[in-house]
């Protein structure tokens, strides 16, 4: 069960990697729902080109997994995981609602 704490710790980039701003990470790696009547269009934020919902990545990370562990678990880059965590920091209620609704079904 998650603790609902929106203060996920974002990890510092490695020395050989430039740090992107949260808005840049989100813009580059997160696809947002744009309001479509098409039933085949996902209606939640997800990792671009991978399809993994942001809430899944965040929920796993909140379970105590490191950035590298989370990336490996979902075959994502560390930047993609960082983007999901940045989105969560900007929209904690939205993501926690989704995580909690799934936990309620599982329990």
* Mean pLDDT for back-to-back runs of 10 residues, the chain (107 residues): 49 60 96 76 87 97 97 98 98 95 71
**What is the separation, in whole angstroms, between the first and last Cα of the chain?**
9
Report the distance separating Cα 19 and Cα 93, nearest Å: 26
Question: What is residue 12's predicted lDDT score, i.e. its pLDDT?
Answer: 59
Number of domains in the chain: 1
Distances from the Cα of 47 to the Cα of 70, 81, 95, 101, angstroms: 13, 9, 14, 20
Report the distance separating Cα 103 and Cα 20, nearest Å: 32
pTM: 0.78
Q: Confirm whether 13 is domain-assigned.
A: no
Nearest Cα neighbor of 81 from 50, 43, 54 is 54
Strand, coil or helix: 22: helix
The CATH number of the domain holding residue 30 is 1.10.10.10
Which structural domain range is residue 62 located in? 22-34+41-106
Q: Confirm whether 51 is domain-assigned.
A: yes
Question: What is residue 1's predicted lDDT score, i.e. its pLDDT?
Answer: 42
Q: Confirm whether 57 is domain-assigned.
A: yes
């Amino acid at each position: 069960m998650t603790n609902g704490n929106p203060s996920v710790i974002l990890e510092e980039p490695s020395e050989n990697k430039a740090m992107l701003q949260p808005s840049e990470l989100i813009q580059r790696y997160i696809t947002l729902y744009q309001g479509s009547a098409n039933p085949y269009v996902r209606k939640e934020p997800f990792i671009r080109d991978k399809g993994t919902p942001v809430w899944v990545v965040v929920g796993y990370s909140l379970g105590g997994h490191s950035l590298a562990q989370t990336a490996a678990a979902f075959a994502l880059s560390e930047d993609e995981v960082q983007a999901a965590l940045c989105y969560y920091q900007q929209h904690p209620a939205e993501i926690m609602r989704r995580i909690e609704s799934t936990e309620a079904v599982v329990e």
